[in-house]
Amino acid sequence: MSDSRSSGTGRLLTGVAWAVLLLGLWLWGKNIGDGTGSGSSAPTTGDVAAVGRPLDVPLPPAHEPVQGTKPERVDIPSVGITAPVMARGLDADGGVDPPPFAAPGTVGWYDEGTRPGASGPALLVGHVDTRDKKAVFYGLSAARPGEKVRVTGIDGSVSEFTIDDVQVVQRDHFDPQKVYGAHQRGRAELRLITCGGSYDREAEAYSANVVVSAYLTDVPKAS
């Protein structure tokens, strides 16, 4: 998820860091939402949201990657998501640290990885719910291929992405490389991730993660 280095040593270190990061992301992916769900508010069950990439949905060509900038806001008009973005790192256990539950309407961006619009997959995470209310990505599972995601940077720039894949990934079939790796080399991509599936009260965990993938298709000029 980070930029590749030009030297052999750099590539080796990047590869090691990538392996460690994937392990942390995998562990986090199994546990995001633990202890916070109410059960009835989980938006997807089983593989209901595993839409994938329907062949009859026309998708626009990819836009060349740009430099990218730190994100400030994300908008998904088709599912009514408009939210501020905060930078997040890894927690003490090596997993991505999502926004605090005191900020359920905020999306977290993994700031040690790719900036939205730059080459590679940028990672945005958010809670689906808290103990008593819906959270920012509650409606994420309703997103469909062909719909738009707009990321506004702190400099006012806008990167527009087109959704090309929506999946519910079960915890016992979670493949970090497929979820977090690039779908196409050299493309600017986006991953939006939250809890999904059913809520297990005994384990205090969701059974899956909703993973929405998108790629850069436009960089609108400021008016």
Query: What are the pLDDT digits (tens) for 89-101?
Result: 877 766 677 898 8
pLDDT at position 173 is 78
Band (pLDDT 50/70/90 cuts) for residue 188 is very high
Residue 153 has pLDDT above 60, yes or no: yes
Residue 192 has pLDDT above 80, yes or no: yes
How far apart CA 213 and CA 186 sit, in angstroms, is 15
Mean confidence (pLDDT) of the chain: 78
The top-scoring range by mean pLDDT among 15-24, 90-99, 168-177 is 168-177
How far apart CA 61 and CA 203 sit, in angstroms, is 43
**Among residues of the chain, what percentage have pLDDT more than 90?**
51
Q: What structural domains does the chain harbor?
A: 8-218 (2.40.260.10)
Helix (H, G, I), strand (E, B) or coil at 98: coil
Residue 14 has pLDDT above 50, yes or no: no
> Going along the chain, which residue ranges are E strands?
71-76, 81-88, 107-110, 120-125, 148-153, 158-170, 188-200, 205-218
Give the residue carrying structure tokens 């994300």: 74
pTM: 0.77
